[in-house]
Amino acid sequence: MGLDGCSVSAPYSAAHQNHELEAKENSLRGLQKVLTRPKVVDFIATSLIPRPVKAKLLMDIGKAATENVRLKHLCRMINLYHTVMVAHRNEALCEVITAEPLDNRTKRALRDILQKFIKSGKKNFEDIIGGIIVGFENKHVDLSIARSLNDYRESLQPV
């Protein structure tokens, strides 16, 4: 299972037994916001302050019990916990990438299709030239013009 699995499964199991999954997830979201502040990032990353002192300070402000999690990897553990919660709710993460923002009609049609089975997020990347890339979990559908052009370039290359 490794460090990641242990660090995520222990709080998940405890929260599940106490019927506090949503409360734990909300608490971790708040902690994650705090951990992204530049001064807090510097505090966690510095080796000048011993780990037990850092853990005590974080527990003293009531933000996290960091006994079993390495402080430098705390944000990663929180992200993994959110991934476990997505699976617990039988959701799938989805990312839609387009070259330009979609018009309302297309956006609505895409959302209607995807909402039937996934939780969606979207990004715009102009370097895909046009088309769309839809990714969910570890699979993706690349219908971008950039990919098509690369395929044509490769097929035209001399052998």
* DSSP code per residue over 36-85: TSHHHHHHHH-SSS-HHHHHHHHHHTTS---TTS-GGGHHHHHHHHHHHH
Pair of tokens at residue 150: 């690369």
Those residues whose C-beta lies under 8 Å from the C-beta of residue 13, and which sit 6 or more positions away, are none
What pLDDT, in 10s, does the model give residues 107-148? 888 878 877 766 556 666 777 777 777 776 667 778 788 888
User: In the chain, where are the structural domains located?
Assistant: 2-88, 93-156
CA distance 130 to 14: 46
**Residues 20-33 pLDDT 10s:** 888 888 888 887 88
pTM (whole model) above 0.75:
no
